[in-house]
């Protein structure tokens, strides 16, 4: 896993040939066309029972060509990089979305990009033994006592992309991404519980100087042992305090997806037509921010060649904007926000989140607990289900505790949170100053496409929400 990177086929796509592709894509009419080329190196190691069980390296790559003609979208892609194959893909896209307009593609000019993922130890300069050492450190930290099984994995990718557009944008980006995962199974008196933890971001192997592999293993072990000690979760309507960082996934799912502009353009989101209206407590300010250096959700440019930037979505409870790709922005008469993202060259872009979080408030955890004599403290979630149209959600709590006499008490398992995103946001009564980002573990799915994202949150109190559990809550 060392050595110089292989030559990329993106290098052969010069401005002259990209111009030919764009002209071919617009030959049957259309308002706009773009070319998206991708070349990605993927590496994976899987560890179990003290050794590497699987090691894989692969490359994927190809070119996608899109034409927009009004509401029509023509899209075709090719894994064959030959000029003939790419011109044929451009012609196919042109036939799918033909129009009356006969635009001329503008001359391409390179887009200047920021550097949000500087890499000190690039993947190609590192050895296989270095990566195996990370997995061995996970096992050494997690093993012993009541732990029965440890599984771990390490993944990395280097994604080179090129975007050329008929309005003259030429953008190139190299996007590193890594993630380390650990899963622990523990047993006590015939009962078994599991715990898992991850850490990752857009960086090279220097990432693990600040985020040691042993810390990931210790967190997975802690959660497994906590599960062994957990009792039944209460059920009923009660106050809930959300923990910082990873519990931001509830915000991502229950609120963030409803703010993606394709749902709002079609009027299928609970937030449709509500710009300028109060949709949350005045304590809530929500942003989507791809500019955080090294973060899992960071991007220098989106997959349509639009500059990516911090987007204000909700300010002091008032809805300020949506997340746009080029198509939704054109339809709604606003500039794109740099949120056009796609899983690969095989997919057309969609409005997608990057790193979505709620800004810090002014309270403290101590003050929040003092204002919550009884309730549930939900620190981490495994995900859930959301109905975008209605805003309804169900989330599983993977780390939860009773709040008793204004203090965090016994751990509980089996709790779920059931509610409506906009309604719950109105019930936020206290927000702490201790904002934190999740350690970089999330992947978001939408319409069959997956992209890396991140979330963040400070401690906050929701005055009332339905908790599903295994026993009735105390009065």
Instruction: Write out pLDDT tens, residues 263-295.
Output: 999 999 999 999 999 999 999 999 999 999 999
Mean pLDDT of the chain: 95
Say yes or no to pLDDT of 319 above 50: yes
Three-state SS at 434:
coil
User: Do the bridges between strand 147-165 and strand 169-188 make them parallel or antiparallel, or are there none, so unpaired?
Assistant: antiparallel
**Per-residue pLDDT tens over the stretch 174-222:** 999 999 999 999 999 999 999 999 999 999 999 999 999 999 999 999 9
Distance CA 18, CA 26 (A): 13
In the prediction, which pLDDT does 385 show?
83
Are 68 and 97 spatial neighbours (Cβ–Cβ below 8 Å)? yes
> pLDDT of 77-97, one tens digit each?
999 999 999 999 999 999 999
Query: Structure tokens of 245?
Result: 């960082």
Could you report the per-residue pLDDT of 132-166, keeping only the tens digit for each?
Answer: 999 999 999 999 999 999 999 999 999 999 999 99
CATH topology of domain 9-229: PmbA/TldD fold (3.30.2290)
Domain boundaries, the chain: 9-229, 232-472
E strands along 168-226, which residues? Answer: 169-188, 191-201
So what's the pLDDT on residue 6? 61
Q: Is the pLDDT of residue 4 over 90?
A: no
d(CA 188, CA 194): 12
| CA gap 456, 108 in Å, rounded | 37
Please give the structure tokens belonging to residue 11. 């290098």
* pLDDT of the residue at 1: 53
Question: Which residues sit opposite 301 in a β-bridge?
Answer: 307
Strand 350-351 and strand 340-341: pairing? antiparallel
Provide the 8-state DSSP code for 254. Answer: I
Question: What's the pLDDT band for 24 if we cut at 50, 70, 90?
Answer: very high
pLDDT tens for 56-67 read 999 999 999 999
Three-state DSSP at 207 gives: helix
């Amino acid at each position: 896993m060392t050595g110089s990177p292989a030559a990329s086929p993106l290098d052969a796509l010069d401005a002259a040939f990209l111009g030919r592709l764009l002209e071919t894509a617009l030959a049957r009419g259309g308002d706009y066309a773009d070319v998206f080329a991708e070349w990605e190196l993927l590496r994976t190691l899987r560890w179990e029972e003290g050794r590497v069980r699987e090691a894989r390296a692969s490359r994927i790559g190809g070119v996608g060509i899109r034409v927009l003609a009004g509401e029509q979208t023509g899209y075709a892609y090719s894994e064959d990089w030959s000029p003939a194959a790419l011109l044929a893909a451009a012609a196919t896209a042109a036939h799918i979305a033909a129009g009356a307009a006969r635009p001329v593609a503008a001359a391409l000019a390179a887009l200047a990009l920021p550097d949000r993922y500087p890499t000190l130890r690039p993947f190609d300069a590192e050895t296989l033994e270095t990566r195996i050492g990370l997995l061995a450190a996970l096992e050494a930290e997690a093993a012993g006592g009541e732990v029965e099984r440890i599984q771990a994995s390490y993944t990395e990718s280097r994604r080179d992309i090129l975007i050329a557009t008929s309005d003259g944008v030429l953008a190139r980006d190299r996007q590193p991404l890594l993630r380390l995962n650990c899963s622990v199974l523990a047993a006590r008196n015939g009962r078994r519980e599991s715990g898992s933890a991850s850490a990752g971001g857009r960086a090279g192997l220097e990432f693990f100087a600040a985020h040691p592999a042993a810390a990931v293993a210790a967190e997975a072990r802690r959660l497994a042992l906590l599960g062994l000690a957990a009792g039944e979760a209460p059920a009923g309507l009660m106050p809930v305090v959300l923990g910082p960082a990873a519990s931001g996934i509830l915000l991502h799912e229950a609120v963030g997806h409803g703010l993606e502009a394709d749902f709002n353009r079609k009027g299928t989101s609970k937030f449709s037509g509500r710009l300028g209206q109060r949709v949350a407590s005045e304590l809530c300010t929500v942003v989507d921010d791809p500019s955080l250096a090294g973060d899992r959700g960071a991007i220098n440019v989106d997959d349509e060649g639009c500059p990516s930037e911090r987007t204000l979505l909700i300010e002091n409870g008032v809805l300020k904007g949506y997340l746009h790709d080029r198509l939704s922005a054109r339809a709604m008469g606003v500039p794109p926000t740099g949120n056009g993202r796609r899983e690969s060259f095989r997919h057309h872009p969609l409005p997608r989140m990057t790193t979505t979080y709620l800004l810090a408030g002014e309270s403290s955890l101590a003050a929040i607990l003092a204002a919550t004599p009884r309730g549930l403290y939900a620190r981490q979630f495994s995900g859930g289900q959301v109905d975008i149209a209605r805003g309804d959600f169900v989330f599983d709590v993977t780390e939860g505790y009773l709040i008793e006499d204004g203090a965090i008490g016994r751990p509980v398992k089996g709790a779920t949170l059931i509610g409506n995103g906009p309604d719950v946001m109105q019930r936020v009564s206290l927000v702490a100053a201790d904002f934190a980002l999740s350690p970089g573990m999330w992947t978001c799915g939408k319409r069959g496409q997956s992209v890396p994202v991140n979330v963040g949150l400070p401690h906050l109190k929701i005055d009332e929400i339905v908790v599903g559990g295994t026993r009735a809550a105390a009065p």
